[in-house]
DNA sequence: CGCATAATGTTATGCGCATAATGATTCTGT
DNA sequence: ACAGAATCATTATGCGCATAACATTATGCG
Protein backbone atom coordinates (compact mmCIF):
# COMPACT_ATOMS: atom_id res chain seq x y z
CA UNK A 1 0.00 0.00 0.00
CA UNK A 2 1.28 3.45 -0.82
CA UNK A 3 2.14 5.78 2.04
CA UNK A 4 -0.68 8.24 1.35
CA UNK A 5 -3.41 5.70 1.92
CA UNK A 6 -1.62 4.03 4.78
CA UNK A 7 -1.15 7.35 6.50
CA UNK A 8 -4.78 8.31 5.99
CA UNK A 9 -5.86 5.06 7.60
CA UNK A 10 -3.47 5.14 10.52
CA UNK A 11 -4.19 8.75 11.22
CA UNK A 12 -7.93 8.17 11.07
CA UNK A 13 -7.56 5.36 13.58
CA UNK A 14 -5.48 7.55 15.85
CA UNK A 15 -7.96 10.40 15.84
CA UNK A 16 -10.85 8.04 16.32
CA UNK A 17 -9.06 6.59 19.31
CA UNK A 18 -8.36 9.92 20.93
CA UNK A 19 -11.82 11.36 20.36
CA UNK A 20 -13.73 8.28 21.39
CA UNK A 21 -11.81 8.11 24.63
CA UNK A 22 -12.20 11.83 25.24
CA UNK A 23 -15.94 11.68 24.67
CA UNK A 24 -16.22 8.65 26.94
CA UNK A 25 -14.29 10.51 29.61
CA UNK A 26 -16.66 13.45 29.37
CA UNK A 27 -19.71 11.20 29.70
CA UNK A 28 -18.24 9.23 32.60
CA UNK A 29 -16.93 12.19 34.55
CA UNK A 30 -20.27 12.88 36.28
CA UNK A 31 -20.14 9.32 37.62
CA UNK A 32 -16.60 9.84 38.92
CA UNK A 33 -15.27 7.23 36.56
CA UNK A 34 -12.34 7.30 34.19
CA UNK A 35 -12.46 5.59 30.80
CA UNK A 36 -11.46 1.96 31.13
CA UNK A 37 -13.16 1.47 34.46
CA UNK A 38 -16.60 1.36 32.91
CA UNK A 39 -15.61 -1.66 30.84
CA UNK A 40 -14.68 -3.56 33.96
CA UNK A 41 -18.03 -2.84 35.55
CA UNK A 42 -19.93 -3.73 32.38
CA UNK A 43 -18.09 -7.02 32.07
CA UNK A 44 -18.96 -7.96 35.63
CA UNK A 45 -22.56 -6.96 35.03
CA UNK A 46 -22.69 -9.09 31.90
CA UNK A 47 -20.88 -12.21 33.00
CA UNK A 48 -21.06 -12.14 36.78
CA UNK A 49 -18.29 -12.49 39.36
CA UNK A 50 -14.99 -13.64 37.98
CA UNK A 51 -11.33 -13.98 38.75
CA UNK A 52 -8.98 -11.16 37.79
CA UNK A 53 -7.16 -13.24 35.20
CA UNK A 54 -10.44 -13.77 33.39
CA UNK A 55 -11.19 -10.08 33.67
CA UNK A 56 -7.85 -9.26 32.20
CA UNK A 57 -8.60 -11.42 29.19
CA UNK A 58 -12.11 -10.04 28.80
CA UNK A 59 -10.97 -6.42 28.95
CA UNK A 60 -8.09 -7.02 26.58
CA UNK A 61 -5.51 -5.50 28.88
CA UNK A 62 -2.77 -6.86 31.11
CA UNK A 63 -3.12 -8.08 34.70
CA UNK A 64 -1.29 -5.16 36.31
CA UNK A 65 -3.78 -2.78 34.74
CA UNK A 66 -6.61 -4.80 36.22
CA UNK A 67 -5.00 -4.73 39.63
CA UNK A 68 -4.89 -0.95 39.71
CA UNK A 69 -8.30 -0.35 38.21
CA UNK A 70 -9.84 -2.88 40.58
CA UNK A 71 -8.17 -1.26 43.53
CA UNK A 72 -9.67 2.10 42.67
CA UNK A 73 -13.10 0.71 41.96
CA UNK A 74 -12.95 -1.15 45.25
CA UNK A 75 -11.94 2.01 47.08
CA UNK A 76 -14.92 3.73 45.47
CA UNK A 77 -17.16 0.94 46.73
CA UNK A 78 -18.28 -0.35 43.34
CA UNK A 79 -16.68 -3.78 43.47
CA UNK A 80 -15.61 -6.26 46.12
CA UNK A 81 -12.74 -8.76 46.09
CA UNK A 82 -12.75 -11.97 48.04
CA UNK A 83 -10.49 -15.01 47.99
CA UNK A 84 -11.36 -17.66 45.45
CA UNK A 85 -12.64 -20.82 47.15
CA UNK A 86 -10.53 -23.32 45.25
CA UNK A 87 -7.42 -21.30 44.45
CA UNK A 88 -5.63 -19.36 47.11
CA UNK A 89 -3.74 -17.27 44.59
CA UNK A 90 -6.81 -15.85 42.95
CA UNK A 91 -9.34 -13.19 43.90
CA UNK A 92 -12.93 -13.24 42.81
CA UNK A 93 -14.23 -9.83 41.82
CA UNK A 94 -17.90 -8.97 41.99
CA UNK A 95 -20.14 -5.93 41.85
CA UNK A 96 -21.50 -4.32 44.97
CA UNK A 97 -24.99 -2.84 44.95
CA UNK A 98 -23.43 0.50 44.18
CA UNK A 99 -21.53 -1.07 41.30
CA UNK A 100 -24.64 -2.72 39.91
CA UNK A 101 -26.51 0.56 39.96
CA UNK A 102 -23.59 2.31 38.32
CA UNK A 103 -23.45 -0.30 35.57
CA UNK A 104 -27.05 0.48 34.74
CA UNK A 105 -26.26 4.14 34.29
CA UNK A 106 -23.21 3.28 32.23
CA UNK A 107 -25.34 1.24 29.85
CA UNK A 108 -27.35 4.31 29.03
CA UNK A 109 -24.29 6.45 28.49
CA UNK A 110 -22.91 3.69 26.31
CA UNK A 111 -25.91 3.88 24.01
CA UNK A 112 -25.64 7.63 23.85
CA UNK A 113 -22.00 7.35 22.92
CA UNK A 114 -22.66 4.80 20.21
CA UNK A 115 -25.38 6.93 18.69
CA UNK A 116 -23.16 9.98 18.63
CA UNK A 117 -20.45 7.86 17.10
CA UNK A 118 -22.38 6.75 14.03
CA UNK A 119 -24.26 9.97 13.39
CA UNK A 120 -24.49 10.67 9.69
CA UNK A 121 -23.45 7.22 8.55
CA UNK A 122 -25.80 5.14 6.39
CA UNK A 123 -27.61 2.35 8.23
CA UNK A 124 -25.86 -0.39 6.31
CA UNK A 125 -22.49 1.02 7.26
CA UNK A 126 -23.57 1.19 10.88
CA UNK A 127 -24.68 -2.42 10.74
CA UNK A 128 -21.41 -3.58 9.23
CA UNK A 129 -19.19 -1.49 11.42
CA UNK A 130 -18.76 -3.69 14.50
CA UNK A 131 -17.78 -6.65 12.35
CA UNK A 132 -15.29 -4.59 10.38
CA UNK A 133 -13.70 -3.17 13.49
CA UNK A 134 -13.51 -6.58 15.12
CA UNK A 135 -11.80 -7.96 12.06
CA UNK A 136 -9.28 -5.15 12.20
CA UNK A 137 -8.66 -5.64 15.89
CA UNK A 138 -8.18 -9.32 15.24
CA UNK A 139 -5.73 -8.65 12.43
CA UNK A 140 -3.61 -6.62 14.80
CA UNK A 141 -3.84 -8.97 17.75
CA UNK A 142 -0.43 -10.27 18.73
CA UNK A 143 -1.52 -12.27 21.76
CA UNK A 144 -3.83 -14.77 20.09
CA UNK A 145 -2.13 -15.28 16.70
CA UNK A 146 -5.05 -14.65 14.37
CA UNK A 147 -8.37 -16.28 13.82
CA UNK A 148 -11.72 -14.71 13.26
CA UNK A 149 -14.42 -16.88 14.80
CA UNK A 150 -17.89 -15.43 14.99
CA UNK A 151 -19.13 -18.64 16.57
CA UNK A 152 -17.99 -19.97 19.93
CA UNK A 153 -15.69 -22.97 19.63
CA UNK A 154 -17.51 -26.30 19.74
CA UNK B 1 -29.89 2.27 19.90
CA UNK B 2 -30.27 -0.82 22.06
CA UNK B 3 -27.50 -1.66 24.46
CA UNK B 4 -26.40 -4.82 22.67
CA UNK B 5 -25.47 -2.99 19.49
CA UNK B 6 -24.03 -0.02 21.31
CA UNK B 7 -21.87 -2.27 23.41
CA UNK B 8 -20.69 -4.23 20.39
CA UNK B 9 -19.63 -1.00 18.74
CA UNK B 10 -17.95 0.57 21.73
CA UNK B 11 -16.15 -2.61 22.60
CA UNK B 12 -14.97 -3.05 19.04
CA UNK B 13 -13.58 0.46 19.08
CA UNK B 14 -11.85 -0.19 22.36
CA UNK B 15 -10.17 -3.36 21.18
CA UNK B 16 -9.22 -1.79 17.90
CA UNK B 17 -7.62 1.04 19.82
CA UNK B 18 -5.62 -1.19 22.13
CA UNK B 19 -4.42 -3.54 19.41
CA UNK B 20 -3.52 -0.87 16.90
CA UNK B 21 -1.46 0.90 19.49
CA UNK B 22 0.16 -2.32 20.66
CA UNK B 23 1.08 -3.30 17.13
CA UNK B 24 2.46 0.16 16.44
CA UNK B 25 4.53 -0.09 19.60
CA UNK B 26 5.97 -3.42 18.48
CA UNK B 27 6.90 -2.02 15.09
CA UNK B 28 8.41 1.15 16.51
CA UNK B 29 10.36 -0.49 19.31
CA UNK B 30 13.38 -1.32 17.10
CA UNK B 31 13.63 2.41 16.33
CA UNK B 32 13.53 3.26 20.04
CA UNK B 33 10.28 5.11 19.59
CA UNK B 34 7.04 4.93 21.51
CA UNK B 35 3.66 5.22 19.80
CA UNK B 36 2.68 8.86 19.49
CA UNK B 37 6.17 10.07 18.80
CA UNK B 38 6.13 8.77 15.26
CA UNK B 39 3.16 10.99 14.43
CA UNK B 40 5.09 14.05 15.47
CA UNK B 41 8.00 13.15 13.23
CA UNK B 42 5.71 12.34 10.30
CA UNK B 43 3.92 15.64 10.66
CA UNK B 44 7.19 17.56 10.59
CA UNK B 45 8.30 15.53 7.58
CA UNK B 46 5.05 16.30 5.78
CA UNK B 47 4.56 19.95 6.58
CA UNK B 48 7.98 21.21 7.56
CA UNK B 49 9.09 23.14 10.64
CA UNK B 50 6.30 24.52 12.74
CA UNK B 51 5.38 26.00 16.07
CA UNK B 52 4.38 23.67 18.90
CA UNK B 53 0.86 25.05 19.02
CA UNK B 54 0.43 24.07 15.38
CA UNK B 55 1.88 20.68 16.13
CA UNK B 56 -0.55 20.23 18.94
CA UNK B 57 -3.44 20.91 16.64
CA UNK B 58 -2.08 18.66 13.91
CA UNK B 59 -1.52 15.75 16.27
CA UNK B 60 -4.89 16.16 17.92
CA UNK B 61 -3.49 16.26 21.42
CA UNK B 62 -2.92 18.95 24.00
CA UNK B 63 0.09 21.26 24.29
CA UNK B 64 1.53 19.67 27.44
CA UNK B 65 1.72 16.34 25.62
CA UNK B 66 3.63 17.98 22.82
CA UNK B 67 6.05 19.56 25.27
CA UNK B 68 7.00 16.20 26.76
CA UNK B 69 7.16 14.28 23.51
CA UNK B 70 9.23 17.01 21.93
CA UNK B 71 11.61 17.03 24.87
CA UNK B 72 12.26 13.32 24.49
CA UNK B 73 12.63 13.47 20.74
CA UNK B 74 15.02 16.37 21.16
CA UNK B 75 17.04 14.42 23.72
CA UNK B 76 17.18 11.55 21.23
CA UNK B 77 18.50 13.95 18.61
CA UNK B 78 15.62 13.63 16.16
CA UNK B 79 14.27 17.16 16.39
CA UNK B 80 15.60 20.59 17.21
CA UNK B 81 13.84 23.56 18.83
CA UNK B 82 14.78 27.14 18.26
CA UNK B 83 13.13 30.43 19.13
CA UNK B 84 10.54 31.69 16.70
CA UNK B 85 11.79 34.82 14.90
CA UNK B 86 8.64 36.91 15.28
CA UNK B 87 7.18 35.59 18.52
CA UNK B 88 9.31 35.27 21.60
CA UNK B 89 6.84 32.96 23.31
CA UNK B 90 6.97 30.29 20.66
CA UNK B 91 9.48 27.64 19.64
CA UNK B 92 9.89 26.39 16.12
CA UNK B 93 10.37 22.63 15.90
CA UNK B 94 12.16 21.00 13.00
CA UNK B 95 13.65 17.65 12.08
CA UNK B 96 17.35 16.98 12.37
CA UNK B 97 19.07 14.78 9.79
CA UNK B 98 18.59 11.90 12.14
CA UNK B 99 14.91 12.71 12.43
CA UNK B 100 14.47 12.95 8.69
CA UNK B 101 16.06 9.56 8.22
CA UNK B 102 13.90 8.12 10.94
CA UNK B 103 10.76 9.52 9.34
CA UNK B 104 11.61 7.60 6.19
CA UNK B 105 11.81 4.36 8.09
CA UNK B 106 8.57 5.15 9.88
CA UNK B 107 6.80 5.63 6.57
CA UNK B 108 7.60 2.06 5.64
CA UNK B 109 6.44 0.70 8.97
CA UNK B 110 3.30 2.75 8.55
CA UNK B 111 2.48 1.01 5.29
CA UNK B 112 3.15 -2.35 6.84
CA UNK B 113 0.84 -1.55 9.70
CA UNK B 114 -1.94 -0.37 7.41
CA UNK B 115 -1.69 -3.51 5.32
CA UNK B 116 -1.89 -5.73 8.35
CA UNK B 117 -4.82 -3.70 9.56
CA UNK B 118 -7.05 -4.28 6.56
CA UNK B 119 -6.10 -7.86 5.86
CA UNK B 120 -9.11 -9.89 4.82
CA UNK B 121 -11.38 -6.92 4.17
CA UNK B 122 -12.89 -6.38 0.70
CA UNK B 123 -11.26 -3.66 -1.35
CA UNK B 124 -14.32 -1.44 -1.34
CA UNK B 125 -14.43 -1.55 2.44
CA UNK B 126 -10.75 -0.68 2.61
CA UNK B 127 -11.34 2.24 0.28
CA UNK B 128 -14.24 3.55 2.34
CA UNK B 129 -12.64 3.00 5.71
CA UNK B 130 -10.61 6.19 6.17
CA UNK B 131 -13.65 8.31 5.35
CA UNK B 132 -15.86 6.38 7.72
CA UNK B 133 -13.37 6.61 10.55
CA UNK B 134 -12.83 10.30 9.97
CA UNK B 135 -16.55 10.87 10.11
CA UNK B 136 -16.73 9.00 13.38
CA UNK B 137 -13.81 10.91 14.84
CA UNK B 138 -15.47 14.13 13.75
CA UNK B 139 -18.75 13.12 15.34
CA UNK B 140 -16.98 12.67 18.64
CA UNK B 141 -14.86 15.77 18.46
CA UNK B 142 -15.58 18.18 21.27
CA UNK B 143 -12.92 20.73 20.42
CA UNK B 144 -14.12 21.77 17.00
CA UNK B 145 -17.85 21.69 17.65
CA UNK B 146 -19.37 19.82 14.71
CA UNK B 147 -18.23 20.15 11.16
CA UNK B 148 -17.28 17.38 8.77
CA UNK B 149 -15.60 18.85 5.73
CA UNK B 150 -15.93 15.85 3.46
CA UNK B 151 -18.86 13.51 3.39
CA UNK B 152 -18.24 9.75 3.32
CA UNK B 153 -17.90 8.20 -0.15
CA UNK B 154 -21.10 6.96 -1.74
C1' DC C 1 6.28 -38.09 46.70
C1' DG C 2 9.28 -34.21 45.09
C1' DC C 3 10.45 -30.97 42.05
C1' DA C 4 10.35 -28.11 37.86
C1' DT C 5 7.02 -25.42 35.53
C1' DA C 6 2.99 -22.78 34.95
C1' DA C 7 -0.39 -19.61 36.59
C1' DT C 8 -2.23 -15.64 39.73
C1' DG C 9 -1.63 -11.40 41.52
C1' DT C 10 1.25 -7.60 43.06
C1' DT C 11 4.87 -3.82 42.95
C1' DA C 12 7.95 -0.79 40.34
C1' DT C 13 8.67 1.93 36.52
C1' DG C 14 7.83 4.40 32.13
C1' DC C 15 5.12 6.46 28.31
C1' DG C 16 1.10 8.98 26.20
C1' DC C 17 -2.58 11.50 27.19
C1' DA C 18 -5.46 14.65 30.02
C1' DT C 19 -6.55 19.00 33.03
C1' DA C 20 -5.18 22.89 35.99
C1' DA C 21 -2.18 26.48 37.22
C1' DT C 22 1.80 29.61 36.08
C1' DG C 23 4.92 32.77 33.55
C1' DA C 24 5.88 35.15 29.42
C1' DT C 25 4.68 37.41 25.59
C1' DT C 26 1.43 39.35 22.04
C1' DC C 27 -2.87 41.27 20.65
C1' DT C 28 -7.05 44.31 21.17
C1' DG C 29 -10.17 47.80 22.43
C1' DT C 30 -10.91 52.24 24.10
C1' DA D 1 -0.75 54.32 25.23
C1' DC D 2 -2.15 51.22 28.23
C1' DA D 3 -5.04 47.73 30.69
C1' DG D 4 -7.24 43.41 29.91
C1' DA D 5 -7.77 39.38 27.12
C1' DA D 6 -5.97 35.90 24.32
C1' DT D 7 -1.92 32.92 23.06
C1' DC D 8 2.46 29.99 23.68
C1' DA D 9 4.86 27.12 26.39
C1' DT D 10 5.83 24.88 30.63
C1' DT D 11 5.32 22.39 35.24
C1' DA D 12 2.61 19.49 38.34
C1' DT D 13 -0.39 15.83 38.90
C1' DG D 14 -3.33 11.81 37.79
C1' DC D 15 -5.16 7.92 35.00
C1' DG D 16 -4.87 3.89 31.72
C1' DC D 17 -1.93 1.10 29.64
C1' DA D 18 2.50 -1.50 29.08
C1' DT D 19 6.65 -4.57 30.61
C1' DA D 20 9.73 -6.57 34.04
C1' DA D 21 10.65 -8.60 38.37
C1' DC D 22 8.80 -10.91 42.27
C1' DA D 23 6.24 -13.91 45.81
C1' DT D 24 2.77 -17.26 46.34
C1' DT D 25 0.14 -21.15 45.07
C1' DA D 26 -1.21 -25.10 41.56
C1' DT D 27 -0.10 -28.57 38.66
C1' DG D 28 2.18 -32.12 35.86
C1' DC D 29 5.72 -35.42 35.57
C1' DG D 30 9.58 -38.35 36.90
Tens-place pLDDT, residues B108-122: 999 999 999 999 999
How far is the C-alpha of B24 from the C-alpha of B35, rounded, in Å? 6
- The pLDDT value given to residue B7: 96
Q: Residues 39-98, chain B: which have Cβ under 7 A from strand C?
A: 39, 59-62, 64-65, 68-69, 72, 86-89
Q: Which residues, other chains included, contact B13 with Cβ-Cβ below 8 Å and sequence gap of 6+? A: A16, A17, A20, A117, A133
**Is the pLDDT score of B29 beyond 80?**
yes
Strand D positions within 7 A of protein Cβ atoms: 7-13, 15-21, 23-27
**Taking the CA atoms of chain A, what radius of gyration do you get in angstroms?**
18
Task: Taking residues B126-153, report their average pLDDT.
Answer: 77
- The pLDDT value given to residue B142: 80
**Is the pLDDT score of B150 beyond 70?**
no
How far apart are the CA of B63 and the nearest CA of chain A, in angstroms?
A: 15
Ranges under pLDDT 70 in chain A: 143-154
Task: Taking residues B57-83, report their average pLDDT.
Answer: 96
pLDDT range class, residue B144, cuts 50, 70, 90: low
- The pLDDT value given to residue B153: 40
The CATH number of A3-116 is which of 3.30.1490.440, 1.10.10.10, 2.60.120.10, 1.10.10.60? 1.10.10.10
Domain-by-domain residue ranges, chain B? 3-117, 125-154
The CATH number of B3-117 is which of 1.10.238.10, 1.10.10.10, 1.20.1300.10, 3.40.190.10? 1.10.10.10
Which of B3, B11, B105, B110 to substitute to test the interface with A, most A CBs within 10 Å?
Answer: B11
Asked if B19 has any chain A CB less than 8 Å from its own CB, the reply is yes
Asked if A111 has any chain B CB less than 8 Å from its own CB, the reply is yes
Q: Which residues, other chains included, contact A117 with Cβ-Cβ below 8 Å and sequence gap of 6+? A: A20, B9, B10, B13, B136, B139, B140
Q: How many contacts does A have with B, using Cβ atoms within 8 A?
A: 186
How far is the C-alpha of B139 from the C-alpha of B141, rounded, in Å? 6
Of B107, B61, B121, B153, nearest in space to A7 by CA: B107
pLDDT range class, residue B147, cuts 50, 70, 90: low
How far is the C-alpha of B4 from the C-alpha of B14, rounded, in Å? 15
Tens-place pLDDT, residues B84-95: 999 999 999 999
Amino acid sequence: MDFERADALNQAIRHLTLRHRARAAALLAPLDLHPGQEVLLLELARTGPMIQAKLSEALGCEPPSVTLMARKLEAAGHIRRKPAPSDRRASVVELTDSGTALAGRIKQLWSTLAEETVTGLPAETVAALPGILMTIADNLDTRRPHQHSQHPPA
